[in-house]
Amino acid sequence: MKTLYDLQAPAKLNTFLHIVGRRPEDGYHLLQSAFVLIDWHDTLHLELRHDGQISREDEAGPGLPGRDLCVRAAQALQAATGSTLGVHIRLHKRIPTQAGMGGGSSDAATCLLGLMRLWKAALPRPALMQLALGLGADVPFFLLGRHAWVEGVGERLQALDMPPARFLVLKPPVGLATPQIFASPELRRDSETATISGFAALGPDHIYEFGRNDLQPVAQQLCPEIAQGLQWLSERGLKGRMTGSGSALFARLPDGAEANRGLGGPADDWVVRVCSTLQMHPLADW
């Protein structure tokens, strides 16, 4: 019986993000977005505990709250499956937090997939997806394991074939809290509805230019570094955009551009990294 798993949890970028309305029952925002998986990973070490306890330690990176999304994911799965087993989670955080890159959601999804095997749990996929959605709107996407066209509040997913691409990703020292961005009265919530066929018709050279991020104007007001980062990219001939609710930015690198282009960033305390699209999530067939 396998009692230990070392698993990767990749980050995402939203190539565009439109808000098309709100869900009447809870005010959650209805969106349309393309989510792409990129090669920037956290690592989770999951070790079986026979005493039913769920514990977590941080291996590196910023200290997370004690009951972070991984722990909540494990608790929710334990409750849903009635498992008497537990887990010790060692988390090596590399994906910046409060960046709009889905790090916490991806960790939670990887934790769920790992625990399904570690605990030999038999939860049907639709129930697992529902449980994931209760943890956070982005978690179901990371369970799907493919680039995706995402609608609803994050639960309506269609796998997408996206052309391989490289991006310069920039994260300013300040992060942004998702609820604060969505709560803004200034937020545009009436974007026109797009179609996946219209999106795909743009072809490999232009598909990453589609649309805009409706959360970006609000984020820019709260975080002046975003304008600074966009300006810095534009001075290098790159068109930047924010991912998710920020504060990270990305710009597609032209094919053949040298990989270290612009490394350094607008200031010393920015995180800058060249990332590539993943073909698939490392756990896509789990």
Binding footprint of ligand C5P on the chain (CB under 6 A)? 28-29, 31, 136-138, 153-154, 178-179, 182
Residue closer to ligand C5P by CB (options 96, 262) is: 96
Nearer to ligand C5P, 104 or 262 (CB): 104
Tokens read off for 132? 């994931």
DSSP 185: T
CB 132 within 8 A of CB 16: no
- How many whole angstroms separate alpha carbon 19 and alpha carbon 14? 13
- What is the rounded CA–CA span in Å between residue 51 and residue 40? 33
* Contact yes or no for 166/275 (Cβ under 8 A): yes
Is 7 strand, coil or helix? strand
CA dist., res. 236 & res. 244, Å (int):
23
Nearer to ligand C5P, 139 or 253 (CB): 139
Cβ-based nearer residue to ligand C5P, 154 or 262? 154
Q: In the numeric block, which tokens belong to residue 106?
A: 């991806």
Which is closer to ligand C5P, CB of 138 or CB of 225?
A: 138
The residues annotated as belonging to the active site are: 12, 138
**DSSP class of 3:** -
Angle at CA of residue 277, ends 271 and 283, nearest 5° = 105
User: Residue 79 is encoded by which pair of tokens?
Assistant: 């409750």
Name the β-bridge partners of 38: 11, 277
- State the nearest-atom distance from the C-beta of 97 to ligand C5P, in Å: 13
How far from the centroid of its chain's Cα atoms is residue 28's Cα? 18
Between 83 and 110, CB nearer to ligand C5P: 110
Minimum distance, C-beta of residue 52 to ligand C5P, in the bound complex (Å): 27
Shortest distance (Å) from residue 194 CB to ligand C5P: 16
What's the min distance (Å) between Cβ of 71 and ligand C5P?
A: 15
Alpha-carbon gap, residue 151 to 145, rounded angstroms: 16
Q: What angle, 0 to 180 degrees and rounded to 10, lies between the N-to-C axes of helices 125-135 and 103-118?
A: 140
Residue 215's identity, in one-letter code, is: L
The least distance separating ligand C5P from the CB of residue 279, rounded to whole angstroms, comes to: 26
* Residue 270 neighbours by CB under 8 Å, 6+ apart: 170, 171, 172, 173, 225, 229
Q: How far is the CB of 192 from ligand C5P (least distance, A)?
A: 18
